[in-house]
């Protein structure tokens, strides 16, 4: 799975479950996709997506 697709899936999961800890999101993602991510990886991917969104909002 490519990084942009991974970010989109994590963003969708985070929107469905607002306020969940990144580790819990990682477990939810693993249950849905079978792909193992750490809480740190989830946190990093979501931070990247927030940075991209903020960059586009400024344009």
User: Cβ of 4: how many Cβ atoms within 10 Å?
Assistant: 12
pLDDT tens for the chain, 59 residues long, are: 788 899 999 999 999 999 999 999 999 999 999 999 999 999 999 998 766 555 555 55
In the prediction, which pLDDT does 59 show? 57
Half-sphere exposure of 42 (CA within 13 A, CB side): 22
In the prediction, which pLDDT does 3 show? 85
Asked whether 25 and 10 are in contact (CB, 8 A), the reply is yes
User: Cβ of 58: how many Cβ atoms within 10 Å?
Assistant: 5
């Amino acid at each position: 799975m490519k990084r942009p697709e991974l970010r989109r899936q994590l963003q969708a999961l985070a929107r469905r479950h607002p306020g969940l800890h990144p580790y819990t999101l990682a477990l939810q993602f693993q249950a849905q996709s079978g792909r193992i991510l750490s809480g740190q990886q989830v946190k990093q991917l979501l931070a990247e997506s927030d940075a991209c969104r903020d960059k586009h909002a400024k344009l």
